[in-house]
Structure 1
Amino acid sequence: MKYLAAYLLLTAGGKANPTDADIKSLLSSVGVEAEDERVSALVASLKEKNIDEVIAEGKEKLASVPTGGAAAAGGAAAGGAAGAEEAKEEAKEEEKEESDEDMGFGLFD
C-alpha cells in the first residue's frame, strides 16, 4: 500500500509516470526502505496508464461487489423464526450473566 500511496503522491505532484527511482526516493525521504521487486511490479503494472482512468475502473468494479447487506437479509429470511428465537435466548443469557443481584452490589454503584 505504501508503494501505491507514493505513486499516487507523485502523480498528484505532477509526475505523469513515476519511475522506480522516483518512488524509492520519495519513500527514503520519510525513512521507508523500499523493496525493489514490489516497486518494479507496481511501475510495470501502471506503465503508460492514466491513473485517473485506473481509479475510475476500480470504482466501477467496487460498486459491483456485494457488501453483505443482502446476504445478511437473505440469511435472516432463510433462518426465520429459529434465528429470532436464538437471539432472544442469547439476550436472556446475557441479562442473567450481567445481573449483580446475587452479590448484593454492582460494579459501578
Structure 2
Amino acid sequence: MRYVAAYCLAALGGGSPSTKDIEKILSSVGVDCDADEAKKVVGELEGKNLEELIAEGMSKLGSMPAGGGGGSGAAAAGGGGAAAAGGGAAEEKEEKAEEPEEESDDDMGFGLFD
C-alpha cells in the first residue's frame, strides 16, 4: 500500500512516476523501499489514467459488503422508537436495567490525571 501511496504522490507532481520517484518519497519519511515492489507498482500503473483507476475503485468499494452489526443496530433503534411511542415510564426502566454498570477506577490504583 505504501508503494501505491508514494506512486500517487509522485503522480500529483506531474508526469509518469518512476521507481526512483517512489524510492525518493519513501526514503524521505524513513521507510525502506523494496525495488521489486516499486517496479511492480510502476509496471502495473504505467500508461493508465490514475484518476480513472481511482474512480473505478471507488465504484467497486460501494458494492462491497461491509459486514458487522449495522443491521441489528438499526433494527434495535427502530424497535426502541416504537416502544417509546407506546410505552412510557415502564419502557424507561427496562432501558436502565439493560445498560451495563460502569466500573470504577478506584480498584486499579491510579487515576487518569494522577
| TM class, shorter-length | 0.5 to 0.7
Distance change in 2, residues 1:98/1:9 (3 Å): closer
Tell me how far 1:30 sits from its aligned partner.
2.5
Q: Offset at 1:71?
A: 7.4
Inter-partner Cα distance in structure 1 for 2:39 and 2:58: 24
SS in 1 for 2:44: helix
Aligned-pair distance for 1:31? 2.1
Q: Which runs of 5+ in 2 are unaligned?
A: 76-94, 105-114
Residue 99 of structure 1: CA displacement?
Answer: 8.9
The separation in 1 between residues aligned to 2:6 and 2:46, in whole angstroms, is: 15
Residue in 1 that maps onto 2:59: 60
Unaligned ranges ≥5, structure 1: 77-87, 101-109
Opposite residue 41 of structure 1, the aligned amino acid is: K
Which residue of structure 2 aligns with residue 106 of structure 1? Answer: none
Give 1:28 shift. Answer: 1.6
Map 1:14-53 → 2, pairs under 5 A: 14-15=14-15, 17-53=16-52
Sequence identity (%): 43
TM superposition score normalised by structure 2:
0.58
* C-alpha distance after superposition, 1:70-103 (max 9, x if no partner): 9734xx7xxxxxxxxxxx9xx48x5xx7699xxx
Q: How many residues align?
A: 88
Asked if 1:7 corresponds to 2:7, the answer is yes
